[in-house]
């Protein structure tokens, strides 16, 4: 398995990376941000919303925050650009351009797309992040958002208030490991009903979903220059090897390596 980032940038809440993958997999995971990727070469196989889809060179993938996805790359390898966009940014853009009267972050149509304008906008933004020109970077970001909303990519969210209440409870308790007993007290339903409904709603069983939220919180703390050991303790990971292995499965690198690379500019590092 080989997976390594050629470039990795983090600025103003945005993360941008260029990654090469060969005989590699990303297991089921989630992010707190929107994730846009442009496939530069090779083939990626993704699993999203119960479907397995193929991403060819020249195509893009789009994931909403909290969506559950996984990826696989064959022996021929692939190279792609990924941009992580904070929810607050798209929410602000949506409101400022009168695209929506809702205060919530937009829910976008997910999956695999052939969209040359958006593909070019992703590549343009990724290229400009290397030059540290704030005006050019802002312009490229606006063009990226314009392409993202150039077509009807928004959709109505599927809402289950009971399960959303459980997810809110999970977010309030990312500093500890939750149990099914604790969750059924919040949900007011049986363990069987909780596991069945929650998995159908999110794509992951509740305990695994909560782990993903804790790992998202870990990324946020590391971006705020928290030491990995401090981040682990704040989030209730008292077994360091467990924290490192869980983080590596999602991000492809260790917490220490991630913390050292975020914002470091043109650094090449292997993800092992």
Beta strand 14-22 pairing with 69-85: antiparallel
Is 161-261 CATH 1.10.10.60?
yes
Choose the weakest-confidence range: 160-169, 178-187, 238-247, 249-258.
249-258
Higher-scoring residue by pLDDT: 225, 151: 225
- How does residue 157 score in pLDDT terms, banded at 50, 70 and 90? low
Quick: pLDDT tens for 116-151.
889 999 998 888 776 666 777 778 888 888 888 875
Chain centroid offset of residue 31 CA = 3
Check residue 124 and give its pLDDT.
87
Q: Is the pLDDT of residue 31 over 50?
A: yes
- How does residue 158 score in pLDDT terms, banded at 50, 70 and 90? low
Beta strand 111-113 pairing with 2-11: unpaired
What are the boundaries of each domain within the chain?
A: 2-148, 161-261
Check residue 138 and give its pLDDT.
79
In order of 11, 79, 153, 246, the CA distances from 145 in angstroms are 17, 23, 11, 32
Dist CA 119 CA 41 (whole Å): 13
Dist CA 197 CA 199 (whole Å): 6
Radius of gyration of the chain (CA): 19
- DSSP element (H, E) containing 51: strand 51-55
Percent of the chain with pLDDT over 90: 32
Quick: pLDDT tens for 78-95.
999 999 999 988 888 877
Dist CA 23 CA 72 (whole Å): 8
State which fold the 2-148 domain adopts. Jelly Rolls (2.60.120)
Q: Which of 8-12, 89-93, 189-193, 225-229 has the highest mean pLDDT?
A: 225-229
Tally of residues, the chain: 272
Quick: pLDDT tens for 171-213.
999 999 999 999 999 988 888 888 888 888 888 889 989 999 9
Residue in this structure with the two tokens 């593909």, named with its chain if needed: 119
Which class for 156: exposed (0-12), middle (13-18), buried (19 or more C-beta within 10 A)?
exposed
């Amino acid at each position: 398995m080989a997976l390594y980032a050629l470039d990795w940038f983090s600025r103003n809440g945005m993360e941008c990376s260029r990654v090469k993958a060969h005989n590699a997999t990303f297991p089921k995971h989630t992010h707190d941000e929107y994730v846009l990727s442009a496939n530069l070469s090779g083939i990626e196989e993704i699993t999203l919303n119960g479907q397995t889809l193929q991403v060819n060179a020249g195509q893009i993938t789009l994931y909403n925050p909290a969506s559950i996805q996984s990826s696989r790359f064959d022996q021929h390898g692939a190279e792609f650009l990924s941009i992580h966009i904070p929810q607050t940014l798209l929410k602000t853009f949506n409101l400022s351009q009168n695209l929506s009267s809702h205060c919530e972050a937009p829910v976008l149509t997910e999956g695999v797309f052939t969209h040359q304008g958006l593909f070019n906008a992703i590549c343009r933004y990724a290229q400009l992040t290397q030059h540290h020109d704030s005006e050019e970077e802002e312009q490229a970001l606006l063009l990226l958002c314009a392409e993202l909303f150039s077509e009807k990519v928004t959709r109505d969210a599927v809402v289950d208030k009971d399960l959303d209440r459980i997810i809110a409870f999970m977010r309030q308790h990312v500093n500890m490991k939750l149990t099914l007993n604790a969750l059924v007290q919040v949900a007011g339903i049986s363990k069987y009903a909780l596991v069945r409904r929650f998995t159908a709603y999110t794509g992951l069983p509740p305990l695994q979903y909560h782990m993903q939220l804790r790992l998202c919180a870990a990324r946020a703390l590391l971006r705020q220059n928290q030491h990995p050991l401090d981040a682990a303790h704040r989030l209730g990971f008292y077994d360091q090897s467990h924290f490192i292995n869980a983080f590596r499965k999602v991000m492809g690198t260790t917490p220490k390596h991630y913390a050292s690379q975020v914002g470091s500019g043109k650094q090449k590092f292997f993800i092992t």
